[in-house]
């Protein structure tokens, strides 16, 4: 068996193993310094242990990593999806385990001016976070390495949350008002005494406004709807 064949068999053995460990050595650190200046224990994931053993077995090796490298937001962070603004946790509401990937289909989110499909959900576990707030009240909380687009004197650039400075201008997309996919309304059978009423088949801006008036200042009594408004305060009514 040639050396290449032996190396290949060793790599297969590493890939199929489930109980590999790394021996302590001077080149492998046991702690690291976080962006907050504090020291944390360095805990490698199992696939990272396999990757290191792959590197040790070969003279040249290209190691690729998946997503989930710590760039996470709080689970209540709103995300623009094809079904409206939703918190991240709604994409996978079941119980999840930290540092674990889950396959996901049938969902899409707004990225770069278009809706793109979501392929997976990642639970990053508990990590140190930072919360930033703009003067208009917009908030974002995420891990220290989560990137955010800001505008400074030298132009727009992506920076980590830990690098945000007071006075930075955070870039916010104000032009997109997405409230989900068009909503079809259930068919309602009118009573024989009701004639001449054209009931809507889909949600429309006018119907949405009317329902908002009913919820805010309206009442329903004996089949009639009453809306109380002041023409002086709201002249458009």
Predicted pLDDT of residue 150: 92
pLDDT for 181 equals 58
Nearest to 79 by CA among 176, 156, 164, 182: 176
CB atoms < 10 A from the CB of 118, how many? 19
Distance CA 149, CA 157 (A): 6
Q: What is the pLDDT of residue 3?
A: 73
pTM listed for this prediction: 0.51
Three-class SS of the chain: CCHHHHHHHHHHHHHHCCCCCCCCCCCCCCEEECCCCCEEECCCCHHHHHHHHHHHHCCCCCCCCCCCCCCCECCCCEEEECCEEEEHHHHCCCCCCCCEEEECCCCEEEECCEEEECCEEEECCCCCEEEEECCCCCEEEEECCCEEEEEECCEEEEEEHHHCCCCCEECCCCCCCCCCCCCECCCCCCCCCCCCCCCCCECCHHHHHHHHHHHHHEEEECCEEEECCCCCCCCCC
pLDDT of residue 213: 85
Q: What is the reported pLDDT for 131?
A: 93
Quick one: pLDDT at residue 124?
A: 77
What pLDDT score was predicted for residue 71?
67
Which stretches in the chain have pLDDT values below 70? 1, 35-36, 61, 63-71, 93, 174-182, 190-197, 234, 236-237
Please report the pLDDT score of residue 132 as a whole number. 92
**pLDDT recorded at residue 182:** 61
pLDDT at 196: 63
d(CA 127, CA 35): 12
159, 148 in Cβ contact below 8 A? Answer: yes
**How many CA atoms lie less than 13 Å away from 90 in the CB half-sphere?**
15
State the pLDDT at residue 38. Answer: 80
């Amino acid at each position: 068996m040639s050396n290449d064949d032996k190396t290949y068999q060793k790599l297969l053995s590493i890939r199929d193993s489930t109980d590999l460990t790394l021996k302590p050595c001077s080149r492998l650190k046991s702690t690291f310094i976080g962006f907050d200046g504090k020291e944390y224990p360095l805990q490698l994931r199992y696939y990272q242990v396999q990757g290191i053993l792959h590197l040790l077995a070969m003279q040249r090796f290209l190691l690729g990593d998946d997503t989930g490298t710590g760039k996470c937001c709080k689970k209540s962070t709103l995300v623009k999806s094809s079904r409206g603004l939703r918190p991240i946790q709604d994409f996978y509401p079941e119980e999840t385990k930290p540092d674990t990937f889950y396959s996901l289909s049938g969902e899409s989110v707004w990225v770069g001016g278009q809706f793109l499909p979501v392929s997976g959900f990642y639970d990053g576990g508990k990590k140190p976070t930072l919360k930033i707030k703009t003067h208009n009240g917009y908030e974002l909380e995420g891990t220290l390495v989560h990137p955010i687009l800001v505008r400074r004197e030298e132009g727009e650039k992506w920076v980590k949350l830990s690098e945000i400075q007071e006075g930075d201008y955070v870039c916010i997309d104000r032009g997109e008002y997405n409230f989900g996919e068009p909503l079809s309304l259930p068919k309602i059978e009118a009573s024989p005494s009701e004639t001449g009423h054209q009931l809507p088949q889909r949600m429309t801006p006018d119907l949405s406004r009317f329902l908002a008036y009913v919820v805010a200042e309206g009442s329903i009594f004996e089949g009639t709807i009453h809306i109380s408004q002041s023409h002086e305060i709201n002249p458009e009514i």
